[in-house]
Amino acid sequence: MLRPALLLIALLAAFPAAAEIYSWRDKEGRLHYSDVPPPDGEVKTLRNSRSTSSPSTPEPAAGETTGSAAGQAPANVPPGTAGTSNAPKTMADRELEFRQRRTAQAEAEAKAEKERADAAQRQRACEQARSQLAALESGQRIARFTNTGERAFLDDSSRMNEINEARTQVEQLCR
């Protein structure tokens, strides 16, 4: 029973040691020491508890003036950058970045594959239009099937119309 009581007393005795200690002079010139800063006037911080909790913040020297506000931001940290330190990324952040990179890479590969397929389709259509134009311009007899299923040979005017259409297709497909 004695040990828990001693432990409790030791913890309670150490509690005020973690507080900040301020020193200031009042209007009459008397020196005051307290763990609560005055509402106005120049304050000197004798012991800063923030320096023990954050090793990146330098501790002010004894007697150094810190300003009139108790919760004032450190002077060496630019405003708006308190949460943007160069701390190592957590595993969740790295996993999220990895998944985003994989998704972007998969999208890029899918887009490239679609472009390749479209280019191959255009190439096949171009070759087909060129061979149709070559057959029409060769002068061979060309027959088409009618709606009734009979063969009808192209006359000169029909051949010229189809040659013009084939040239238009070649111009459009073979750019």
pLDDT attached to residue 63: 47
Portion of the chain with pLDDT greater than 70, in percent:
71
Reading the block at residue 64, the tokens are 């150094």
pLDDT tens for 32-75 read 888 888 877 777 877 665 544 444 444 444 444 444 444 444 45
Q: What is the mean pLDDT of residues 79-86?
A: 53
pLDDT confidence bin for 131, thresholds 50/70/90: very high
22 or 169, greater pLDDT = 169
- CA-atom Rg of the chain in angstroms: 43
CB 74 within 8 A of CB 68: no
Longest pairwise C-alpha distance within the chain: 122
Q: Would you say the pTM of this structure is higher than 0.75?
A: no
Cα distances (angstroms) measured from residue 88 to each of 3, 91, 100, 103? 41, 9, 19, 23
